Amino acid sequence: MNKIAILIPTYNEAVSIVELLSKLTIFRTNSQYQFDLVVIDDNSPDQTADIVENLRIPWVHVLRRPNKSGIGPAYRAGFSKVLADPQYTHIATMDADGSHRVEDLPAMFAAISSSNALILGTRWMPGGCVVNWPKSRQLLSKTGTRYAKVALGIDLNDLTGGFRIYSAELLNSLKLKDMDATGYCFQIEMAMAADAAGAGSIQVPITFIERIAGESKMSLGIAIEAFGYVTKLGIGRAITGIYRR
């Protein structure tokens, strides 16, 4: 049976992480799937890491990092930790703020097979949807996704989505130490690397719920960074025909 490690990066998620862990505990108790959880905390001032550790949940571990340096470095640190343990066959990634629903995990886990396919929880496909987003933000996200698909030549409907499952075999085949994307470009970088490695993909429709409490990590600077990053990669791929960082 597959053993899954779920990675959840946190920064000032003291309230939302407790609610998420409660839902994950119920799901784990009643589920056929085996999984552990690693909370990757970037030295949150609100003591997120301490709160998680004080819950003393045996299958939940905390990876403490010295400072906030972006979602990319956090996930790469998490990958390094769990890939060192051969019991994990797959590594899932999800947000701490409740935008990625525990209710969608069964469908995500059910998509796991013996292949190296990258499994993506996808908002912009039949059966997927977004809750609490204004029309303007939905349009921006859809437009950005279409641009990335064309520029990068990858037929995925949610390249910046962070609700994913990677096989340990796939991650071990990638040059993770050479990657350097920090913000949401990390998700694009990983999709590009998986595509270049010949991994297939499975898109699973999800319901994405925008947080109603706490502070969103999205900013105009992050959006501009992602646009520039996609453009650079797209030009490189058009010239060489292959993925180049």
Q: What is the pLDDT of residue 5?
A: 98
SS3 162: coil
C-alpha span between 10 and 43 (Å, rounded): 9
Question: How much is the pLDDT for 60?
Answer: 98
Residues in the chain where the model's pLDDT stays below 50: 244-245
What pLDDT is recorded for position 245?
A: 42
CA 54 – CA 2 distance, rounded (Å): 28
Residue pair 227/141 in contact (Cβ under 8 Å)? The answer is: no
3-240: in CATH 3.20.20.80: no
pTM of this structure? 0.89
The per-residue pLDDT for 136 is: 84
Q: For the chain, where are the E strands, in sequence order?
A: 3-10, 34-41, 60-64, 90-93, 118-122, 129-131, 164-167, 201-205, 207-209
In whole angstroms, give the CA distance from residue 130 to residue 132. 7
pLDDT, one tens digit per residue, over 80-112 is 999 999 999 999 999 999 999 999 999 999 999
